[in-house]
Amino acid sequence: MHKKILLIVSILVISRFSYSQNLLAIPDTLSGTVFNLNIRDTNKVFYPGFTTNTFGINAAYLGPTLMLNKGDSISVTFYNQLMDTTTIHWHGMHVSAMNDGGPHITIPPISAWNPTFKVRDHAAMYWYHPHMHMMTNLHASLGAAGLVIVRDSTEATLNLPRRYGIDDFPLVIQSKCFDANKQIVIGNASDSVMMVNGTINPYLPVPAQVVRLRLLNASSERVYNLGFQGNLSFFQIGSDGGLLNAPVSLTRLRLAPGERAEILIDLSGKNGQNIYLKSFASELPNAIYGATQPGMGAGQTIPGYTANVLNGADFNILLLNVMSQTALPVTSIPSTLVNNTIWPVASANGFKTLTFSPVNPGPTAIQGPFLINNTSFDMNVVNYNIPLDNIEVWTLTNQSPIAHPFHIHDIQFYVTEINGAAPPANLAGRKDVILVPAMQTIKFITKFETFCDTMNMYMYHCHMLPHEDEGMMGQFVVSCPKVDVGVENILDETNAVTIYPNPAQHELHIKSSASDPIQGVVLRDLSGKILWSKQKICEAEQTINVESYSATLYILEVKTRSGIIQHQLIRSE
C-alpha cells in the first residue's frame, strides 16, 4: 500500500522535472566583413529522448547573428549542403535585386552563393531566411534563418543597452508543430508549441537595469500580442528598419510574422523577481491568426484551429529572472532617439493599389489561397516596373476575412494611414512589414532608390508563409533611367552583340561575331566622362575589369561594323 503511494509520488516528481524550464539559447555572433555560412541538414534535441531533423546554418537550429556596421562592404558565402535547392533573402535590408536572394536567386544543393554588398541600413535588427518559391514555410520552419544586427554612428551615440547577451538580447519568437516523433511539421493550425531562439519553455537571467529586447516574430502564421506579466510598461524604441523618433510607452505590442520590434524594459530594483513575457492573445480582435476566431464572419475558420491551445489564450513566451546589476548599467530610458524624415505625400509620383482577396469566396475563403489584385504569383510575370527614385504611395486593401502581414523587399516604408487615420507612434517608424487587418486599408510611402536593374526582381508578399507559398506574392523591377549621351546611329539591343553579366561585379564580357567584329568600346559614367576605352580594334570579344568602379550605373558603347550599341551597364555591389 505504502509502496504504491510512493511510486505515484515519484512519477509526479519526474514529470514535473521533465517540464522544467530551459536556459534560453542566444545565437552565436559573427562579425567582420567576410562570412561563411553553411546551410545543412542536421538535428537538434528539443525533447529529451527525441532527435528532431532540422535545417541549421552553422548550428543545429537557426543561424549565427551577423553583426554588421553601416557603411561596411561585406561578402557572404552561403554553402548549400542540403539535398534541396533553396535561396537566402536579406529580409529588410536595402541591397540590389541580384543580392536580395528572392525566389529567382536559387542555390542548388552542394553549391555556393556569394552576395557582396555595402551595408546601407539604419541600425536595427534584420534577418536572413530561405525564399524558395513554394518551399519558404518548410525551409524556414526547419530552422534555416538567422539574425542581422546593424549598428550605425547615430545609434552609437545614444545611451542604450548594446551588450549582446548581457543587456541586449535577441528573441526569435516562433510557434511550431511537432508530430508524435517530435519531427517538425507544417500544416493547418497545429502550431501549439512556443519557442524562443529554438528553446522551448525558456528562461533568461537578466540584470536589474534597463534591458533591450530585440523581438522577431519568425512564426509561419501566428500574430502575438506581447506584454509582461503584471502589465509592466515597456518602451518600444525601434521598428523593423530603424529606431523610432522617441521611445513609445506600451503595455501591449502586436507583432505579426516577419515584424521586428526593439523594446526597453526597466528592471531596476526588481532583483529577485521572475517576470513572464507573454502573449495576451485573448485580447486580440478576431480575424487575426492567433485570436479566438481566425476569420471575420460566421464559420470562417481553419481546420484544427479551435483545438490549438494557443489560440485566443494568454500564454507564456519567456521567463525573465531578474538578477543583480552589471557594471556600467543603463538605468534610464532616453527621451528622444533619431529623426526619421518621411517623404511628404505631395512629393509622390507613383501610386499603387493592392487588394487582397481569397481565391474561394464564401465559407472557406479563410483557408486560402489568397490573391493580390486578383492574381497569383507567377515567376515569369513582372507585376510592376518602377522607375528608379520614384516616391510612391501604396494602398493596401484587405478584402479577405483574415489579417495579412504585407512585406516588401528593397525598401523601408512609412505608414501614412490606417483606415484614414494617422498610425500610432510605434507604427510610424521605418517598416518593411505591416499587418493589414481584415476589411481594412493601410497606406504607406516609400522611395525606390539606389538600385535599378531590369533583369532581377524584388518581391512583395504576405509574410504568413503558407499564404506566400500558395501565391500571395508579386514582383517588381526598379528600372534604370534612360540616359542620352548623344551617340548617333544607336542600334537596339537585339543586335548580335551580347554583354554579360549585367549587372557585373568583376569582369564584363562583350561578344560579337567574327563577321561583325568589335571595332571600339567606350565605358562612360552618367555625366558622359570616359572611364575606359579601346578603339581601332577588330575582335570578336572584349573583357573589361569593372572591379574598381563603384556600384552604380554606367553607359557602355560598343561599335561594330554595323553600328553603335549603347547599353546601360550596372556595376553591382
Cell of 446: 516609400
Options 214, 254, 270, 407; binder of ligand C2O; rule CB under 6 A: 407
459 makes contact, choosing from Cu ion, ligand C2O, none, with CB < 5 to 8 Å by partner type, with: ligand C2O
- Would strands 404-408 and 414-418 be described as parallel, antiparallel, or unpaired? unpaired
176 makes contact, choosing from Cu ion, ligand C2O, none, with CB < 5 to 8 Å by partner type, with: none
Nearer to ligand C2O, 467 or 524 (CB): 467
Closest C-alpha among 567, 562, 557, 545 to residue 496: 562
The CA-atom distances, in angstroms, between 158 and each of 152, 216, 241, 265 are 11, 22, 17, 16
Cell of 168: 541586449
Considering only 60-68, 379-387, 428-436, 455-463, which stretch makes contact with Cu ion by CB under 5 A?
Answer: 455-463
Write the interaction track for Cu ion spanning residues 380-409; mark x where CB under 5 A is met and - where it is not.
------------------------x-----
Q: Is 143 in the site for ligand C2O (CB under 6 A)?
A: no
Considering only 79-87, 395-403, 458-466, 495-503, which stretch makes contact with ligand C2O by CB under 6 A?
Answer: 458-466
Site for ligand C2O in 257-316 (CB under 6 A): 258
Fill in the amino acid letter for 320: L
Buried b (16+ CB within 10 A) or exposed e, 57-78: bbbbbbbbbbebbbeeebebeb
Nearer to ligand C2O, 125 or 250 (CB): 125
Options 211, 243, 459, 556; binder of ligand C2O; rule CB under 6 A: 459
The CA-atom distances, in angstroms, between 99 and each of 27, 395, 440, 571 are 24, 27, 34, 13
Considering only 446-454, 457-465, 485-493, 522-530, which stretch makes contact with ligand C2O by CB under 6 A?
Answer: 457-465
Contact 226, 255 (CB under 8 A): yes
Options 404, 409, 430, 443; binder of ligand C2O; rule CB under 6 A: 409
The CA-atom distances, in angstroms, between 380 and each of 342, 475, 567 are 34, 9, 24
Find the helix or strand (DSSP H, E) in which 18 lies: helix 2-18
Closest C-alpha among 408, 215, 168, 411 to residue 317: 215
Write the interaction track for Cu ion spanning residues 288-327; mark x where CB under 5 A is met and - where it is not.
----------------------------------------
118 makes contact, choosing from ligand C2O, Cu ion, none, with CB < 5 to 8 Å by partner type, with: none
Q: Is 461 in the site for Cu ion (CB under 5 A)?
A: no
Q: What angle do CA 265, 162, 39 make, to 5 degrees?
A: 105
Measure CA 390 to chain center: 22
Considering only 23-31, 72-80, 286-294, 459-467, which stretch makes contact with ligand C2O by CB under 6 A?
Answer: 459-467
467 makes contact, choosing from Cu ion, ligand C2O, none, with CB < 5 to 8 Å by partner type, with: Cu ion
CB of residue 148 to ligand C2O, shortest distance in Å: 12
* d(C-alpha 51, C-alpha 183), whole Å: 8
Question: Three-state DSSP class for 401?
Answer: coil
Residue whose C-alpha cell is 489560440: 311
CB of residue 458 to ligand C2O, shortest distance in Å: 9
Cis peptide, bond prior to residue 501, ω within 30 of zero: yes
Which residues contact ligand C2O (rule: CB under 6 A)?
A: 89, 91, 129, 131, 258, 407, 409, 459, 461, 463
Which residues contact Cu ion (rule: CB under 5 A)?
A: 404, 462, 464, 467
